[in-house]
Amino acid sequence: EPEVTQTPSHQVTQMGQEVILRCVPISNHLYFYWYRQILGQKVEFLVSFYNNEISEKSEIFDDQFSVERPDGSNFTLKIRSTKLEDSAMYFCASSEAGTDTQYFGPGTRLTVL
């Protein structure tokens, strides 16, 4: 069964460094999403992406964040100048055209020291 994959599973970085989290969505899906879950808190929407453009973004998704689909299979989230409060589990999701049903990857745990 096709699934969303994410790498790395765990990333440790120093405050102020840049990180890139990678996702491979399900191959025939056209809509891509990033969510995050800070430990003990709700899963929060960050951004959605379609047709090489951001469709929607939350207040969390400020200038520190960017997304890109560098090729036909990968979808990346870049966090510039990481802060301690960026420590969280980051989930990628994808959905087919014509449906709102989103399938999630296993997540990347980001730890900022």
- Give me the residues that bind other proteins (CB under 8 A), please: 4, 6, 31, 33, 35, 41-45, 48, 55-56, 58, 91, 93, 95, 100-107
CB of 81 to other proteins, least distance (A): 25
Cα separation of 104 and 4, whole Å?
A: 6
Residues 6+ apart with CB under 8 A from 87: 38, 39, 110, 111, 112
CB of 61 to other proteins, least distance (A): 11
Q: In the structure encoding, which two tokens stand for residue 18, read together? A: 């840049």
Nearer to other proteins (CB atom), residue 4 or residue 67: 4
Backbone dihedral region for residue 60 (phi beyond 0: left; psi -120 to 50: alpha; all else: beta): alpha
Nearer to other proteins (CB atom), residue 3 or residue 18: 3
CB of 90 to other proteins, least distance (A): 11
